Amino acid sequence: MSDSSMTPSVDAAVPPAPTLGAKLAAEGFGTFLLVFGGVGTAVFASNHFTEPGTASAVYVAIALAFGLTVLVGVYAFGPISGGHFNPAVTLGAAAAGRTPWRDVGPYIIAQIVGGVIASTALTLIGLFGPDGWLAAAQDAGFASNGWDALSPSGFEMPAAMIIEVILTGFFLLVILGATHPKRGTLFAGVAIGLSLTLIHLISIPVDNTSVNPARSIAAAIYGGTEALSQLWVFLVFPVIGAMIAGFAYRALFDSTGKVPIV
């Protein structure tokens, strides 16, 4: 005689789809992790390793911090919300047909809120640092994105525009490819995290690397008036890159048209 209570039902085997509220919470927590880990490393490490010759070590630490936070976030929150943590990624995913357009606005709001809470937490920690530490970090831009004086190597505005379009576009192509519903991989989080690490290694010297408007907003609000005045570039150009990549991926790799036989 079998015991039906020991037989899992279909409902028990397949978890219900996450609600929009759960998705927004996941996006908020994931973006908090990204900003707290990445911007936090940039702020704390840049003010600690001040000896000559340590700049390259700081760049590597910051690049790894951003990559690792995304890697962890994708595996922790990706099954709930898709693991965007980035308004440009959300818009690009919608352009590629992966995210409903109706979810774009709520996702972006959750991401911005999560990022701002993270940078606020970093500022609160700084209040209890050594004398003058927080003021010095804010005078240095609080790891904000920018050009000219805010660029670690003094690059001008056009350089920031170009590199943000290119790198955000390729970042989205990696995300769309690694998480494809039919051709994706279980190691998508690793690919995405390492690609973001590479992106930071390339572009930190140019503009401190955005590819993420939520990250840029979170840092700029504590980075001073110059950081805020330059913020628009890091809101507009990552989105341009992501939208181009989203539409291009859908046309090139997800087209349902038949290939003619020659």
pLDDT tens-digit profile of 156-179? Answer: 999 999 999 999 999 999 999 999
Instruction: Assign 48 a pLDDT band (cuts: 50, 70, 90).
Output: low
> Does the domain formed by 19-252 have CATH 3.40.50.1950?
no
- Residue-wise pLDDT tens digits, 81-136: 999 999 999 999 999 999 999 999 999 999 999 999 999 999 999 999 999 999 99
List Cβ neighbours of 186 (8 Å cut-off, separation of 6 or more): none
Average model confidence (pLDDT) across the chain: 90
Which residue matches tokens 């992790």? 33
What pLDDT is attached to residue 4? Answer: 42
What pLDDT is attached to residue 98? Answer: 94
What pLDDT is attached to residue 16? Answer: 86
Instruction: Assign 261 a pLDDT band (cuts: 50, 70, 90).
Output: very low
The domain limits of the chain are: 19-252
d(CA 147, CA 154): 7
Instruction: Assign 184 a pLDDT band (cuts: 50, 70, 90).
Output: confident
Handedness of CA 102, 104, 109, 114 (dihedral sign): positive
Predicted TM-score (pTM) of this structure? 0.89
What pLDDT is attached to residue 87? Answer: 98
pLDDT at 262 over 50: no
Of these ranges, 33-37, 47-51, 179-183, the one predicted with the greatest mean pLDDT is 33-37
- Residue-wise pLDDT tens digits, 66-86: 999 999 999 999 999 999 999
Please report, to the nearest 10 degrees, the dihedral formed by the alpha carbons of residues 201, 31, 71, 246 taken in order: -80
d(CA 218, CA 166): 22
What pLDDT is attached to residue 45? Answer: 83
User: Mind giving me the DSSP string for the chain?
Assistant: ---GGGSPPHHHHSPPPPPHHHHHHHHHHHHHHHHHHHHHHHHHHHHH--STT-HHHHHHHHHHHHHHHHHHHHHHHHHHH-S--SHHHHHHHHHTTSS-GGGHHHHHHHHHHHHHHHHHHHHHHHHTSSTTHHHHHHHTTTT---SGGGSTT---HHHHHHHHHHHHHHHHHHHHHHT-TTT--TTHHHHHHHHHHHHHHHHHHHHS--S-HHHHHHHHTTS-HHHHHHHHHHHHHHHHHHHHHHHHHHHHHS--PPPPP-
What pLDDT is attached to residue 256? Answer: 60
